Structure 1
Amino acid sequence: MSDTPAPSGPADFWEARYREAGRVWSGRPNTLLEREAAGLTPGTALDLGCGEGADAVWLASRGWRVTGVDISATALERAARHAAEAGVADRVTWERHELGRSFPEGTFDLVSAHYLQSPVELDQRAVLRSAAAAVAEGGTLLIVLHAGWPSWQSEPPFDHVFPTLDGVTAELALPEDRWTVETRETVRRPSAAPDGRDGFRDDHVWRLRRVR
Structure 2
Amino acid sequence: MRTIEDVMALLDELSAPCGGDWWDRFYADRSREVPFFVTKPDENLAGHVERGTLTPGRVLDVGCGPGRNAVFLARNGFQVDAVDISATAIRWAGERAEGLDVRFRHGDAFATEGSYDLIYDSGCFHHLPPHRRVGYLALLDRALVPGGHFALTCFTAEEGTFTPDADLYQRSGLSGGVGYTPDELRWIFQDLTEIDLRRMTEEPPDSPRFGKSFLWTALFRKDVQ
TM category (shorter chain) comes to: 0.7 to 0.9
**Aligned counterpart, 2:119:** 111
**What's the CA shift string for 1:129-169, capped at 9, x where partnerless?**
1342221112111111121329xxxxxxx465411111122
- Shift in alpha-carbon separation, 1:209–1:8, aligned structure 2, 3 A: closer
Distance between the aligned counterparts of 1:143 and 1:58, measured in 2? 16
Number of the residue aligned with 2:25: 16
What is the distance in 2 between the residues matched to 1:161 and 1:188?
20
Indicate if the aligned counterparts of 1:47 and 1:69 stay in contact, CA closer than 8 A. yes
- Gaps of at least 5 residues in structure 1 are 1-6, 151-157, 193-199
More strand by percentage? 1
Are 2:64 and 1:50 aligned? yes
Larger RCO: 1 or 2 (CA < 8 Å, sep 6+): 2
Shift of the 44–145 alpha-carbon distance from structure 1 to 2, 3 Å rule, reads: same
Note if 1:37 corresponds to 2:49.
yes
Partner of 1:184: 197
User: Once the two structures are aligned, what percentage of the paired residues are identical?
Assistant: 27
Q: Name stretches of at least 5 consecutive residues in structure 2 with no aligned partner.
A: 1-15, 161-174, 206-211
Alignment of 1:122-161 (within 5 A): 125-133=133-141, 134-147=143-156, 148-149=158-159, 158=175, 160-161=177-178
Relative to the length of structure 1, the TM-score reads 0.74
In structure 1, what is the Cα distance between the partners aligned to 2:64 and 2:198?
A: 23
| TM-score for both structures, normalised by structure 2 | 0.70
Change (3 A) 1:82 1:26: same
Flag the 1:107–1:29 CA change in 2: closer, same or farther, 3 A: same
Q: How far did 1:123 drift?
A: 5.0
Mapped to 1, the partners of 2:176 and 2:73 lie a distance apart of 33
Distance of 1:159 and 1:75 partners within structure 2 = 18
Equivalent residues of 1:111, 1:131 under 8 A apart: no
Query: After superposition, where does 1:86-101 map in structure 2 within 5 Å?
Result: 87-88=99-100, 91-99=101-109
**Residue of structure 1 in register with 2:82 after alignment:** 68
